[in-house]
Amino acid sequence: MNFSRHANRKKMREISSPVTKTTKLIGTSFIRALVFGVILLAVAGAAAGFGIANAIFDSAPELDFNDLVPEGYTSFIYNQNGEVIQELSTGDANRIYVEIDQIPKHVQNAFIAIEDERFLEHNGIDMRGIFRAIFVNLQSGNMSEGASTITQQVIKNNILSTEKSFERKIQEQYLSVQAEKVLEKEEILELYLNTAGLGRGTNGVQAASKRYFNKDVGELSIAEAAVIAGITQRPTYYDPVINPKNNEEKQKLILSYMLDQGYITQGQYNVAKVEDVYSHIQVVNQEFEAQSDYSYFVDETIRRVADDLELQKGYSNNQAINLIYRGGLSIYITQDDDMQTILDGSFANDENFPTFEDDYNAMLQFSLSLKTSDGVKHYYEEIVLQSDEEALAYMEQLKSEWMVDGDEIVNEHYLIIPEPQAAMVVIDYYTGHVKAMTGGRGEKIGNQTLNRATQSLRQPGSTFKVLAAYLPAIDMMGFTLADVYDDVPYTIEIGGSGSYSPRNWYDNPRSEFNYWGLSTIRKGIEWSMNILAVRTMADIGIQTGFNYLENLGFTTLVDREEINGQIFTDKNIVLPLGGLTHGVSLLELTAAYGTIANQGVYVEPIFYTRVLSHDGSILLLKEPESHTVMKETTAFLLTNAMEDVVRSGTATKARFDNMSIAGKTGTTSDSKDLAFIGYTPYYVAGIWLGHDEPEKMIHNETYHKLMWSDVMSQIHDGFENVSFPVPDGLTRATICTESGLKYVEGLCDHDQRGSTTKYEYFVQGTVPKDYCDVHVKAVVCEESKLFPTEFCPDELKVEKVFTARTEPLIPENWDPEDPPRIKGFIYELPATVDNEFCNIHTDALPIPVVEYDENGNPISPETDTETEGEAISPESPVIEEQ
């Protein structure tokens, strides 16, 4: 492509440097040749005898010539059938070489002011900067603070990888000093300004100027120059398109440095400070993005290939992006075209989403550029409205406000983003292959737009009950699905900071019952009961739950983090209710449930399997990381309980015929996030519905479950209906669901509500040995349902089965204005206090009434304490066990 590149190939290999930059001008090739010459000199010098430097050079990693970034080749993305589904190419737009005299002084100075204020004085390294950095590092205790001069950055961007090791730093400093001996400051600056990574795949000030402002670098204002100079240290964080606030802070800082260092006057500073550059950036960005749009899947693949090239191959982000778009790569993705088509079809159908009456918003993004008598003016507005029609009408209104007679429209763009938004991902949990994914609904315009399946962190809500509480309890603490907690008013002390009383989702004035009483863990899962989850968490310990979550592949949980001077942690009692500091991604949540589906083995979700270089050799092979999180028996029990969720619990809407389905709903208490993660013996899929800016949703919370069913039923069309696999080590036994213990004939099966026996699965060795200690028989007066007095007619005295909680409820402690409405409370044995005797047949003092034990045998007060704790064997209990 150009002679100097080829002429230098052999030498480049000798010095192990992955250098490649597009250069179109002979002059720049000359400078490049000089740089390479410098490096050769450096190597020669080191070889000649600088012991330490020599050793460091010798230890530099050997880079294969194939790792060098080739230029100008289109890359291809292949689907699983080996068909090309996407060509990747940015053309030459992302790097355009300009010579230093084409770059205005204020652009040069903006970079010098922020990156290297002593650039014109130092000899390649800045000793003052280094000492300051050492001081900062010692203070902060880590070695992250760099003190890279512009010269060092030229070396780093072009010669060395971005690895932050001490050796690399020495190499970089050494080469920088050598470079300064041979090159003029202007030449170094020109190289720097043409190679610096400036975000969105651009290298150099000309490409960035085109990308953000649609003009040549020579036309940039001072304010615009400072925007671009602000990007280089952290291109995503300071991205002026998606993070204009961050960029603006940096831009203002740069302007103040330029003023302080004498590069601009106070007058220029005042003008630049108030110039509105960011609305123009939005306009240009929309024009740019309208030109190309890759799918969410392709976007995600590009991000991941870039990450892996950096991590595994030591490329800088710039080099990796360049290689992906221009390196002639073949990228093989895991996407299944048919499944993706099904998913896209479901998401494209507006009838699958809340309607206008239910809950619909339209976010309008409108930009307008006008040619006016004062030159071109740019306008931009973003606003959430009630409907598309309203958005379009508002757009017309804006137009009439912004335009005056004689104005001419240069550019006009609008986008209506429907709300609530949604995302879905389908994974083959056995291989980790992501089969289909969508990161949003509505038209996707542009590349690397927000992916709500992989990038948005949202509250997982109730989906965390299984993962954080029940899974560890069963896997590690010997819990069973039959274990019972009382769903009654519950308060837990939180270490020193007060107390917490969880509320159930059915705790509202319209519900007949706001507590459901004695309930098994199976029921807690089926009906997503908050108090059961929190009580389980309290018993197993928060750290245990947290460890399991980390093992399930969640990467965004907070152990301890300081935000605005406050300490945050996800290690707290609400962990199973999914109240997290940052939240989790839908992808990670789905993969965690895939772990249960995959019989306890976590498999990292992947989007591509391999990447080949332009010459066909393997550049990256993706083997998903995999490890065992839980026992097979634990996974089975959870799956079995979660089949109830879909069969008869909170997710019946997700069901479709002829397929085993298990899953868990996730609703945050304020209905800002709705999720359902479900799986079959074939695939796991997760769906999320919510507003981009979290907001309470008012619709009936069924849309996402119906959509999950719509997509998954089509994916499974024609699949054999098999059961979930049953591992060894299980047994079954009949228990009583009020106590979680062995059932007692004549009692548990004679509960006034019907039999409370349940044929339950257990891990061998965990079948309860004791008999139900909750059910009791007692004689009451049929009319008052209370203990009979001597005045109650004999024919009204009846024997009934009651519950008698081992942890008695104390109604005296309840708020008389708003007592808890506990399901089944009327069947609780009245406590033996005066007012528990029949209040209908009362003519005299009541006679003492005998208490009964769980087998219906009378207990006399004198022997009560003696019999306590003794196992009372029923006469002929029929216990089923295999």
Which residue, 126 or 738, is less far from Zn ion as judged by CB? 738
* Cβ at position 849, least distance to Zn ion in Å: 12
Q: What is the dihedral of CA 586, 591, 596, 598, to 10 degrees?
A: 150
What residues does 678 pair with on adjacent strands? 663, 685
Q: Which is nearer to Zn ion, 190 or 751 (CB)?
A: 751
Binding footprint of Zn ion, residue count (CB under 5 A): 12
Minimum CB distance to Zn ion, residue 747 (Å): 6
CB-side neighbour CA atoms (13 Å) of 467: 35
In the bound state with Zn ion, the residue whose beta carbon lies nearer, of 721 and 752, is: 752
Distance in Å, CB of 856 to Zn ion, minimum:
12
Number of neighbouring beta carbons within 10 Å of residue 377? 17
Which residue's CB is nearer to Zn ion, number 378 or number 841? Answer: 841
Beta bridge partners of 518: 486
CB of 481 to Zn ion, least distance (A): 16
CB 491, min distance to Zn ion, A: 27
Return the number of the residue (22 or 739) whose C-beta is nearest Zn ion: 739
The nearer residue to Zn ion, 477 or 840, going by C-beta atoms, is: 840
**Closest among 584, 599, 698, 602 to 639, alpha carbons compared:** 599
Collect all residues with Cβ–Cβ distance below 8 Å to 26 and sequence separation of at least 6: none
669, two tokens: 């208490």
Q: Which stretch binds Zn ion (CB under 5 A): 288-296, 547-555, 822-830, 835-843?
A: 835-843
Sequence length of the chain is 882
Distances (CA, A) of 864 to 681, 833, 859, 860: 53, 16, 6, 6
Please state the closest distance from residue 516 (CB atom) to Zn ion, in A.
16
The correct pick among 841, 846, 852, 874 for binding Zn ion (CB under 5 A) is 841
Distance of CA 271 to the CA centre of its chain: 42
Stretch that binds Zn ion, among 342-350, 505-513, 688-696, 731-739 (CB under 5 A): 731-739
Which residue's entry shows tokens 């975000």? Answer: 199
The correct pick among 21, 200, 326, 775 for binding Zn ion (CB under 5 A) is 775
Q: How far is the CB of 525 from Zn ion (least distance, A)?
A: 21
Q: Which of 709, 838, 852, 856 binds Zn ion (CB under 5 A)?
A: 838
Query: Among residues 326 and 758, whose Cβ is nearest to Zn ion?
Result: 758
CA distances from 479 to 403, 670, 767 (A): 70, 30, 10
Q: Is 684 in the site for Zn ion (CB under 5 A)?
A: no
The least distance separating Zn ion from the CB of residue 881, rounded to whole angstroms, comes to 16
Our measurement of the distance from residue 450's CA atom to the centroid of its chain's CA atoms, rounded to an integer in Å, reads: 12
Q: Toward Zn ion, which CB reaches closer, 405 or 795?
A: 795
* Beta carbon of residue 651, minimum distance to Zn ion (angstroms, whole number): 29
Of residues 115 and 738, the one with the C-beta less far from Zn ion:
738
Judged by CB under 5 A, which of 776, 781, 801, 822 binds Zn ion?
A: 781
- Are 697 and 675 a contacting pair, CB within 8 Å? no
* The two three-digit tokens of residue 321, written as one number: 């992006």
With CB under 5 A as the contact rule, which of the stretches 279-287, 426-434, 558-566, 775-783 interacts with Zn ion?
775-783
- Long-range pairs for 817-823: beta carbons < 8 A, 24 or more residues apart: 820/488, 820/489, 820/514, 820/515, 821/511, 821/512, 821/513, 821/514, 821/515, 822/487, 822/488, 822/513, 822/515, 822/516, 822/517, 823/512, 823/513, 823/515, 823/516, 823/517
- Quick note: the x/- pattern for Zn ion over 616-655, rule CB under 5 A, is ----------------------------------------
The encoded tokens of residue 670 equal 């304020």
Cβ proximity to Zn ion, 120 vs 845, nearer residue = 845
Least distance from Zn ion to the Cβ atom of residue 753, Å:
12
Q: Which is nearer to Zn ion, 331 or 792 (CB)?
A: 792
Q: Whose Cβ is closer to Zn ion: residue 245's or residue 769's?
A: 769
Angle, CA of 478, 482 and 486, to the nearest 5°? 105
Binding mask 734-773 for Zn ion (x = CB under 5 A): --x-xx--------x-----------------------x-
**Cβ–Cβ under 8 Å, residues 70 and 20:** yes
- Closest distance between Zn ion and the C-beta of residue 837, in Å? 8
Give residues with Cβ within 8 angstroms of 879, minimum separation 6. Answer: 733, 734, 742, 743
For Zn ion, which is the closer residue by CB, 460 or 846?
Answer: 846
Could you tell me which of 646, 644, 637, 674 has the C-alpha nearest to residue 505? 674
Q: How far is the CB of 760 from Zn ion (least distance, A)?
A: 13
Q: Spell out, one character per residue from 401 to 440, where the chain touches Zn ion: x when CB under 5 A holds, - when not.
A: ----------------------------------------
Stretch that binds Zn ion, among 77-85, 505-513, 777-785, 804-812 (CB under 5 A): 777-785
In whole angstroms, how close is the CB of 794 to Zn ion at the nearest point? 11
Kindly tell me which of 595 and 784 has the beta carbon lying closer to Zn ion: 784
Contacts of 519 by beta carbon, 8 Å cutoff, 6+ apart: 484, 485, 486, 487, 527, 529, 532, 737
CA 362, CA 420: separation in Å to the nearest integer?
Answer: 9
Q: Which of 205, 792, 804, 829 binds Zn ion (CB under 5 A)?
A: 792
- In whole angstroms, the minimum distance from the beta carbon of 540 to Zn ion comes to 25
The residues of the shown chain that bind Zn ion, judged by CB under 5 A, are 736, 738-739, 748, 772, 775, 781, 784, 792, 838, 840-841
